[in-house]
Structure 1
Amino acid sequence: MNHAALPDLVLEPLVRAALMEDLGSYGDITTRTVIPAGTTYAARLNAREDAIVSGMQVAALAFRLVDPSLEIVARVSDGQPCARGDTLMEIRGDAASILSGERVALNFAGRLSGIATQTATLVAETRGTRARITCTRKTTPGLRIVEKQAVLHGGGFNHRYSLSDAILIKDNHIAAAGSVRAVLEATKAAASHMMKVEIEVDRLDQLAEVLEVGGADAVLLDNMSPDMLRDAVAMIDGRLVAEASGNVTRDTVAAIAATGVDYISSGALTHSYRTLDLGLDF
């Protein structure tokens, strides 16, 4: 799946903050102490395991922010697969600059590739069904934009980016407002015609009420068994977008997808991934 890169202008504040955190108030004193000024070198960013790559754009930006004169050549693009031993990027130029940007570049690339790889694993389990794998707002504070991009690189889809993107009525909203009917009628009375509305239910009687009252575009079927999801999909009968959520793992996702839901959302994509093992070799 091909996804356009984000503008560097959007990514720069995240990468700059990470570099400032790592360089501290006095810069890389180890490198300044042991590397003679003017030393140049070539380094390779190598994968130490098979994966789907993400974070190459961010890693390159980290090196360029440290030293715009560095020559950076990407060998594997974001969203592409790599095998153990593949060179993902080559960096040439001032050795001190490369070493000063190394950890931030690896931190971003390793974590984002981990998200992309985990996403691709779930996507593979749903092939042959209509279900799309989507992320949630359970992201690392401050890094949502790159983590959601990594989900796209893994072949998944993005849920809402923030609370202001769409109306998603959850169980606590229903409890506070009093009923499914109350929240949907309030939404119909006040929401913009440009705003999509989704409501969460965990019982079929709640779903029946949603269908009776109307006003929703999608329904989040929370923590339902595959049998209950099948019943829910039959009740919906194409009138709403059906999203399943809860207990989504590699072992369960195929059975969930087989129920006929349109989307399967998983917070684990961005909060329980394993960081890809990468190395920068001189």
Structure 2
Amino acid sequence: MFAHEIESFLEEDLGYNDISCKLVPERDVEAIIFTKEDCIVAGLEVAQSFFDYFRIHYTTDHTNGDRLLKDDILFSLRGSSLSILRIERLVLNFLGHLCGIATNTRQCVDIARRYSDVRIACTRKTTPGLRKYEKMAVIAGGGDPHRFSLSDTIMIKDNHVKMMGVEAALLSAKEKAGFTQKIEIEVESSADALKAASAGADIIMLDNMGPCDVINTVELLKRSSIPEHIIIEVSGGIDMGNLEDYAKTGVDVISMGSLIHQSCWIDVSLELTI
């Protein structure tokens, strides 16, 4: 985390007249941060950035992706009482949010692994300003971050196809793409999936298709001998409730906005041990 990011978060949380933290005498104290429920750990480097900024000494026995039980200690801290109180809520908010995403992701990965080695990925449905942290939490949970921005991969979405058609959109993308960029296209029918494969797509996303339609489309593409490098992805309306059905379809990637927007915060607490 860059210093300007830390300072932006501090400006929001501390405001212009922080009296509450100044009520206590400033002296060196010790504290612990611990989990109040089982979880997968994420966001340790974010917390460490705040500790370093305020010169708070910390130790931890964990790395992102570890599985923790209720009452496990995430961090032991030593430093200024004023500094620890000032970063308390920010650090706990980040840890609670990111551990929640990692925990949700791990549960989804575990469900999928019962049926196939399909990759579980998130989407760009992220909280503005927090994307890189949320996607790192997905990685901690065993998921794939997908694209970080529009510049990473050329994505031809449904509205592009409506205006241009599958072939014309892919042709335009290939003309503009850099040599390192893959081209992905969303399709909503088996017919358009075949067109996309023939027109040179690198990734074909089957968008908002039910599991049976996905199975039929995957089988059709395989019978048509699509190039081996083409990745088949499915997305749209997938969550923990129907993930099992999609994990059995034979696709390479399942992308789920719900990894982030349906995750629940993990209860994390800080306690002075003096």
TM-score by length of 2: 0.93
Q: Return the alpha-carbon distance in structure 2 between the equivalents of residues 22 and 211 of structure 1.
A: 50
> 2:7 aligned with 1:19, yes or no?
no
Q: Identify unmatched segments of 5+ residues in structure 2.
A: none
Q: Deviations over 1:202-258 (max 9, x none)?
A: 11111122223x221010001111111111212232632010101211121121011
What does residue 233 of structure 2 align with? 243
Aligned partner of 1:35 in structure 2 is 24
Residue in 2 that maps onto 1:3: none
Is 1:52 matched with 2:48? no
State the distance in 1 between where 2:130 and 2:233 align.
25
Counterpart among 160, 168, 181 of residue 167 in structure 2: 181
Conserved 8 A contact 2:174-2:183: no
CA distance in 2, matches of 1:209, 1:112: 39
Match of 1:255 among 228, 235, 245: 245
CA contact 2:197–2:204 (8 Å) conserved in 1: no
Q: How far does residue 23 in structure 1 lie from its aligned partner after superposition?
A: 1.4
Measured after TM superposition, the shift of residue 166 of structure 1 is 0.9
- 1:109 and 2:100 correspond: no
> Are 1:222 and 2:210 matched, yes or no?
no
**RMSD of equivalent CA atoms:** 1.4
CA contact (8 A) 2:119 2:252 kept: yes
Question: Amino acid of the residue matched to residue 24 of structure 2?
Answer: I
Shift of 1:40: 2.3
For residue 167 of structure 1, report the CA deviation from its aligned partner: 0.6
Q: Report the CA distance between 1:63 and its aligned residue.
A: 2.7
Q: Secondary structure at the match of 1:126?
A: helix
Report if the CA contact (8 A) 1:187-1:215 is conserved. Answer: no
Q: Does 1:171 align with 2:158?
A: yes
Conserved 8 A contact 1:14-1:143: no
CA deviations on 1:39-89 (whole Å, 9 max, x unpaired) are: 222111010000001111111212332x21x21112322111100010110
The 5 Å alignment of 1:100-179 reads 100-127=86-113, 128-177=115-164, 179=165
Q: Normalising by structure 1, what TM-score?
A: 0.90
- Listed one character per residue, the Cα deviations across residues 138-192 of structure 1 (whole Å, up to 9, x for unaligned) are 1111111111100000000111110111111000011122x11211122233323
Structure 2 counterpart of 1:64, from 48, 52, 64: 52
- Any stretches of 5+ residues in structure 1 without a counterpart? 1-7
Percent identity of equivalent pairs:
39
The answer for the alignment partner of 1:4 in structure 2 is none
Give how far 1:130 is off: 2.3
Q: In structure 2, what residue type is equivalent to 1:196?
A: K
Tell me the distance in 2 between the aligned counterparts of 1:155 and 1:13. 29
Quick check: 1:131–1:263 contact (8 Å CA) kept in 2? yes
- Shift of residue 281, structure 1, vs aligned partner: 1.0
